[in-house]
Amino acid sequence: MEKPSVGDSVASLCTRCKTVLDHIVVALERGAIVKVKCRTCGSAHRYRKPAEGAAAKTTRTPRRKRPAPPSTEALWAACLAHARGRERVYGTGGCYRVGDIVHHHVFGTGVVRKIYLHKCDVLFRDKQRLMASANS
């Protein structure tokens, strides 16, 4: 095994994200990783070795049971990736189309998923919300 050094990428359990993610090594003690920083949430915490077998090495085991449906956040990220056009500031007077990216001052960035009369479904990072709009 190669010796880790500060700045390296390492898989660690993130205490905030509660899952195994890519981290950056920030502190070593006698050659062992003691502190890491999460690339996803940016929090620094003690290095937590991922559970044995689970995402430990780069061995590709065939996916077996994956009962968990994609989270709202994963769906939101996927929709954002497929959405086209520039982000627009959300307003009740706006007319939107499916796939539009809107920015709400409280809920953040969202993607329009469905259009109704005078309202639309917008998927935000935390959940989908029915929002007023000028659609007719």
Q: Which is nearer to Zn ion, 13 or 131 (CB)?
A: 13
- Are 128 and 113 in contact, with CB atoms under 8 Å apart? yes
HSE value, Cβ hemisphere, 13 Å, CA-based, for 74: 4
Asked if 11 is part of the footprint of Zn ion (rule: CB under 5 A), the reply reads no
Among residues 11, 36, 38, 131, the one that binds Zn ion under rule CB under 5 A: 38
Asked if 17 is part of the footprint of Zn ion (rule: CB under 5 A), the reply reads yes
Binding positions for Zn ion, 59-78, rule CB under 5 A: none
Coil, strand or helix at 10: strand
Question: Phi/psi of residue 51, each to 5°?
Answer: -55, 140
- Are 12 and 20 in contact, with CB atoms under 8 Å apart? yes
Sign of CA dihedral 18, 19, 20, 22: negative
Among residues 6, 32, 34, 41, the one that binds Zn ion under rule CB under 5 A: 41
Among residues 5, 9, 19, 40, the one that binds Zn ion under rule CB under 5 A: 40
Asked if 44 is part of the footprint of Zn ion (rule: CB under 5 A), the reply reads no
- Which residues contact Zn ion (rule: CB under 5 A)? 14, 16-17, 38, 40-41
